[in-house]
C-alpha cells in the first residue's frame, strides 16, 4: 500500500459574478507553482510531478480543475448553457484562484490551453506571477479538426476526443500513462472539450500581445514535444521568437501532454524550467 503526499480540497470562489466550486490539489513546500491542465482534462495530468520529491522538496505545486472539469462542478444553470471558454473568463479564473489560495506571485506552469493563458497572463498581469513555464503553448492554433465533432447527441464526445488527441501522444510514452492520459478525455463532461477548443482555436488575441512581455521581470520558458501535432515545435519556436528574452526547448521523445504521458521523460525538462524562473539570473544551458 502507498498513500501519496497530494492533498485535495475545494474552494468556492466568485468568477465574473458567479459562484464556482473549484477543486484543487497541492503537494510540497517552497516556491509556489500554479499548474494549469490542458483542454478537456483535469488536475490529474500533474499527478506525477506532484509526487516527485525532487520537485516538491523546494516547490509547492498547486493544481486546480477548471470549472466544468474534473471534480469542479459547472456553475448553477449549466444545463441551459453552451460552455464556451473565453480568454477573459480564463484569466479571471486563474487570478481568482490565486487570490482565494493566497498565492503570492507563484510561478505559472500551463500546458496547451493552460500554456496559452500563461502567456496571456505574462502579457496582461505579469505583476501577479514570478515566471511562466508555457508547455505545448503557442500564439495561436487554428483547428485542424472540426471542434463540433466533440459535442454531438449521436456519438460519444469523450471517446472521439480521446481518439483524436491520441495523435498528440509520443510513441515513447509508456502504455499505462498513455491510457491514463486518454481516460481524462474519455471522462470529460459533454461539450467541455469543445468549449475549451473554442478558446484555443478561435481566439488569436495573444499574437498582438507577445511583444509586451518583459522577461527581465518575469522569465518565460517554453517546452514543446516533437510529437505534438497540435502545437508543433515550429509553433512554439515562432512564439518564443516573438517574446524578447524567452527561451524554448524541444523535447524529442514527448508529445502534447508530457507531464502526464511520459513523466520520466518530462521531469528533467520541468526541473530545468523551474531553475530558469529567476528573473535577472543567468541559467546555464
Partner 1 sequence: MAAGGKGDHVTGLIKEIDVLERIKAMQQALARTPHLVRLGRLFSETVLLQVDEAEYYLHFDKGELVTIEPGPSRKIAWCFAIRTDAAALRAYWTARPTPGFHDLFGLVKIDRARIDGDILCLVKNLRFFKEFLSLGREEVPA
Q: How far is the CB of 74 from partner 1 (least distance, A)?
A: 25
Calpha distance 236→240 (Å, rounded): 6
Closer to partner 1 at the Cβ: 94 or 224?
224
Using CB under 8 A, list all residues that contact partner 1: 144-145, 149, 155, 159-160, 162-164, 166-168, 170-172, 226-227, 229
Closer to partner 1 at the Cβ: 43 or 170?
170
Q: How far is the CB of 147 from partner 1 (least distance, A)?
A: 12
Q: How far is the CB of 167 from partner 1 (least distance, A)?
A: 4
Q: Which three cell numbers stand for residue 186?
A: 474519455
- How deeply is 76 buried, as exposed, middle or buried, from its count of CB atoms within 10 A (0-12, 13-18, 19+)? exposed
**Residues 117, 119, 120, 126: what is their CA dihedral angle, to the nearest 10 degrees?**
120
Q: How far is the CB of 159 from partner 1 (least distance, A)?
A: 6
> Phi then psi for 238, rounded to 5 degrees?
-60, -45
Q: How far is the CB of 25 from partner 1 (least distance, A)?
A: 29
Say how far residue 274 (Cα) sits from the centre of its chain: 15
Contact 191/197 with Cβ under 8 angstroms? no
Closer to partner 1 at the Cβ: 108 or 251?
251
Closer to partner 1 at the Cβ: 56 or 170?
170
Closer to partner 1 at the Cβ: 187 or 229?
229
Q: How far is the CB of 160 from partner 1 (least distance, A)?
A: 5
Closer to partner 1 at the Cβ: 97 or 251?
251
Closer to partner 1 at the Cβ: 219 or 255?
255
Q: How far is the CB of 161 from partner 1 (least distance, A)?
A: 9
Q: Which residue has the cell 524578447?
A: 244
Closer to partner 1 at the Cβ: 78 or 149?
149
Q: How far is the CB of 255 from partner 1 (least distance, A)?
A: 9
> How would you classify the pairing of strands 18-27 and 59-64?
antiparallel
Amino acid at each position: 500500500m502507498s498513500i501519496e503526499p497530494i492533498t485535495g480540497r475545494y474552494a468556492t470562489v466568485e468568477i465574473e459574478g458567479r459562484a464556482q466550486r473549484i477543486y484543487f490539489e497541492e503537494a510540497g513546500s517552497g516556491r509556489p507553482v500554479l499548474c494549469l491542465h490542458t483542454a478537456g482534462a483535469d488536475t490529474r495530468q500533474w499527478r506525477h510531478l506532484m509526487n516527485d520529491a525532487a520537485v516538491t522538496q523546494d516547490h509547492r505545486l498547486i493544481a486546480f480543475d477548471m470549472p466544468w472539469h474534473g471534480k469542479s462542478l459547472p456553475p448553477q444553470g449549466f444545463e441551459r448553457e453552451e460552455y464556451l471558454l473565453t480568454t477573459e473568463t480564463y484569466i479571471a479564473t486563474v487570478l481568482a484562484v490565486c487570490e482565494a489560495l493566497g498565492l503570492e506571485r507563484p510561478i505559472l506552469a500551463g500546458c496547451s490551453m493552460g500554456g496559452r493563458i500563461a502567456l496571456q497572463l505574462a502579457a496582461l498581469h505579469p505583476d501577479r506571477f514570478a515566471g511562466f513555464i508555457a508547455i505545448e503553448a503557442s500564439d495561436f492554433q487554428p483547428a485542424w479538426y472540426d471542434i463540433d465533432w466533440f459535442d454531438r447527441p449521436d456519438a460519444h464526445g469523450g471517446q472521439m476526443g480521446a481518439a483524436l488527441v491520441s495523435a498528440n501522444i509520443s510513441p515513447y510514452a509508456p502504455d499505462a500513462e498513455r491510457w491514463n492520459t486518454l481516460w481524462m478525455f474519455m471522462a470529460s463532461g459533454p461539450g467541455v472539450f469543445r468549449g475549451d477548443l473554442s478558446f484555443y482555436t478561435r481566439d488569436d488575441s495573444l499574437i498582438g500581445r507577445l511583444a509586451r512581455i518583459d522577461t527581465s521581470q518575469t522569465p518565460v520558458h517554453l517546452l514543446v514535444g516533437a510529437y505534438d501535432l497540435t502545437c508543433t515545435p515550429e509553433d512554439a519556436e515562432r512564439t518564443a521568437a516573438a517574446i524578447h528574452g524567452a527561451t524554448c526547448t524541444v523535447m524529442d521523445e514527448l508529445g502534447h501532454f508530457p507531464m502526464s504521458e511520459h513523466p520520466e521523460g518530462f521531469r528533467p525538462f520541468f526541473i530545468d524550467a523551474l531553475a530558469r524562473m529567476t528573473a535577472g539570473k543567468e541559467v546555464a544551458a
